[in-house]
């Protein structure tokens, strides 16, 4: 008898560069103190890519860790969908470089740019594609960004927030009723000017003038972004729950985009998810753009936070302006240490 299947996360992986940048180093150039940065953002440090590392290198490292956890070789992957707003080059797609780096010779590869919502957009695209594929098909969904290359370190609104990193998941077939329950993608193009890198594209091609004007740096209207999140994120989350037929108290875990800890604290009461565990990694890693959700998901997963049938909500928001949310019912993932085993290990350590 044919067994019905859904599409879900079967493994996770992440990569954080080894160089740690503390608030005092960032603050000195931005004209603020380390204490001011932590008070305004909840961030104490972040990681910075080495000079030889590009977005594809970080993405490939995260992908290989997800593949290792899944027990799969790269040639088993059918699709690679990479979310990034800091590609290696304007073209080709950075995903094609990742395909070459990891040896995923059978995978079609493409990029998605929805800025910090990108991972959920990429996850949604890959999930939709796999629905029509054979049961033994897999997709790698990666979020990776190297924002350290596009920051104006004298701009305290942006320089203090961002770090570099990559996170990945392998999507595949899971038992029916588990995996992806619903997703929601929203774009408010009328507010696209709130977040931008003005130069370097067809509107303002690179020139001596754009370099002199700082047009290649990341720019953000911080107050406008905060207002956008407060206005749009709760509505998007509540709409997605209705779409999935779930109540707020049925959400076990919330994994948000790690934009700013203070801003997340302000919007948290409006979400009405008080019974859920909110997973944060920004204190140590900052805002890693499209990588922030999969990095946080991987760190939490490897710490044994998720158990089978837990409901996990992921929500990203960012340039465009965009909001992307996904609801998962957690499926048994491969080679992860169960929470019960970790609890037993802690008990034995205390007894010892």
Domain ranges of the chain: 1-352
Around Cβ 207, how many Cβ atoms within 10 Å? 12
Beta strands in the chain (DSSP E): 5-15, 19-22, 45-48, 77-83, 108-112, 138-146, 164-175, 179-187, 195-196, 219-220, 253-256, 277-278, 311-318, 322-329
Give catalytic status of residue 278 as yes or no.
Answer: no
Query: Residues of the chain with pLDDT > 90: what percent?
Result: 91
SS3 247: coil
- Per-residue confidence (pLDDT) for residue 335, from 0 to 100: 53
Q: Return d(Cα 151, Cα 160) in angstroms, integer.
A: 9
Return the biggest CA–CA distance within the chain.
Answer: 67
The tokens 């088993």 sit on which residue? 76
Q: How confident is the model at residue 5 (pLDDT cuts 50, 70, 90)?
A: confident
Q: Return d(Cα 178, Cα 180) in angstroms, integer.
A: 7
Give catalytic status of residue 116 as yes or no.
Answer: yes
> Among residues 23, 232, 260, 287, which one is catalytic?
287
Q: Choose the weakest-confidence range: 169-178, 193-202, 288-297, 343-352.
A: 343-352
Mean pLDDT, range 285-312, rounded to an integer: 96
Are the beta carbons of 299 and 65 closer than 8 angstroms?
Answer: no
For the stretch 207-226, pLDDT in tens is 999 999 999 999 999 999 99
Mean pLDDT, range 226-235, rounded to an integer: 95
343 has pLDDT over 80? no
* CA angle, residues 160, 164, 165, in degrees to nearest 5: 140
Q: Which residues pair with 112 in a beta bridge?
A: 83
Mean pLDDT, range 69-83, rounded to an integer: 97
Class of the CATH-defined domain 1-352: alpha beta
> Among residues 23, 232, 253, 257, which one is catalytic?
257
> Among residues 23, 113, 116, 232, which one is catalytic?
116
84: tokens are: 């990034």
Give catalytic status of residue 301 as yes or no.
Answer: no
């Amino acid at each position: 008898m044919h067994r019905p299947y859904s599409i879900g996360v079967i493994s996770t992986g992440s990569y954080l560069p080894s160089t740690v940048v503390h608030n005092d180093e960032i603050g000195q150039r931005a004209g603020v103190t380390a204490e001011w940065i932590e008070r305004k953002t909840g961030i104490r440090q972040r990681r910075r890519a080495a000079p030889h590392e590009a977005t594809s290198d970080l993405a490939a490292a995260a992908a290989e860790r997800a593949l290792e956890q899944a027990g799969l070789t790269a040639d088993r992957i059918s699709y690679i969908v990479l979310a990034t707003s800091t590609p290696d080059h304007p073209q080709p797609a950075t995903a094609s470089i990742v395909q070459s780096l990891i040896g995923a010779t059978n995978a079609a590869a493409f990029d998605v740019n929805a800025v910090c919502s990108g991972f959920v957009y990429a996850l949604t695209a890959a999930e939709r594609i796999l629905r029509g594929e054979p049961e033994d098909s897999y997709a790698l969904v990666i979020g990776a960004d190297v924002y350290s290359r596009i920051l104006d370190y004298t701009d305290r609104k942006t320089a203090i927030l961002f770090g570099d990193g990559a996170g990945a998941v392998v999507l595949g077939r899971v038992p029916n009723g588990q995996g992806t329950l619903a997703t929601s993608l929203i774009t408010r193009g009328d507010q696209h000017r709130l977040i931008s890198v003005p130069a370097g594209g067809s509107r303002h091609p690179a020139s001596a003038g754009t370099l002199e004007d700082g047009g290649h740096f990341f720019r953000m209207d911080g107050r406008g972004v905060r207002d956008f999140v407060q206005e749009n994120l709760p509505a998007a989350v509540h709409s997605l729950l209705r779409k999935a037929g779930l109540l707020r108290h049925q959400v076990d875990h919330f994994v948000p985009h790690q934009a700013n800890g203070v801003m997340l604290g302000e919007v948290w009461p409006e979400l009405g998810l008080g019974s859920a565990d909110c997973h944060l990694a920004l204190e140590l890693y900052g805002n890693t753009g499209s990588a922030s959700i999969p990095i946080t998901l991987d760190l939490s997963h490897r710490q044994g936070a998720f158990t089978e049938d837990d409901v996990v909500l992921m929500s990203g928001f960012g340039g465009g302006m965009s909001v992307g949310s996904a609801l998962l019912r957690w499926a048994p993932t491969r080679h992860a240490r169960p929470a019960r085993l970790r609890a037993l290990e802690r008990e034995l350590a205390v007894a010892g």
